[in-house]
Amino acid sequence: MGYKGWVGHRERIVSRPVIIERQFPSSAFPYFPFSPPCSTFIPILGRPVIILAVMPLYQPADLNTPVLSQFSLKGKIALVTGGSGGIGRQVVSGLAEAGADVAFIYRTATDAHETAAKIAERTGVRVQAYQSDVTKRETIAHTIEQIATEFGHGRLDIVIANAGVCQNVPSLEYEEDTWNYMNSVNYDGVMWTAIAAGRIFKKQGRGNLIITASVSATLVNVPQTQAAYNSSKAGALQLGKIGRAHV
């Protein structure tokens, strides 16, 4: 695998940056991954540069492999929090349709197991529901470990931190319980899910974490009164950026 890099020379980046698009071998980026923009030294160029962006370039072993097969998730083990309804249910369906075996976590849904059975019957893969609570660190960690061990037979490839709640509350009328509830699900829940998944990924040497954020993470919805929802989703978005840089 190589990387396509967009770079600007350090001595010219301040005044008028020159962007050079070149494809480099992976050896050119000995400390990858890093988060552009940043300064580094690329041996192949023989000079310090500012890295503006880096994009991994995937190349299949067989260049004649049909393109759609490269998107297959057959044999992968996926987990979705908040997967019993809404966006989560559609994510579970999409993963199953792509060939992954999918476990999803629900908290109060009464039809979660029925939902799992219907998706499994339609897609021909394993789909199983687990009850848990993303707001409780030890509880969700135990459930994710259980899923990796029992459902994934010791493996977990994809985790989607999707569980979320939203309420319209005028900003001057928030109570502690309402504020804490939305933040504990939308923000804390992402962190506790990410930590549990990250530990498994670290042990495996690989894994993929996806966080369901919202357009509300970066803009203010009008006339909706969603201060807790918007700010918690903004926090979740930032957690994703921080996690990539620090893990």
Known catalytic membership, residue 229: yes
Task: Catalytic residue, from 130, 132, 232, 233: name it.
Answer: 233
Burial of 157 (0-12, 13-18, 19+ CB in 10 A): buried
Task: Catalytic residue, from 93, 214, 216, 232: name it.
Answer: 214
Which tokens hold the place of 171?
Answer: 């900003």
Is residue 232 within 8 A of residue 161, CB to CB? The reply is: no
Known catalytic membership, residue 214: yes
Is residue 50 within 8 A of residue 42, CB to CB? The reply is: no
Known catalytic membership, residue 27: no
Task: Catalytic residue, from 3, 106, 130, 229: name it.
Answer: 229
101-106 and 127-131 beta bridge pairing: parallel
Residues annotated catalytic, as ranges = 214, 229, 233
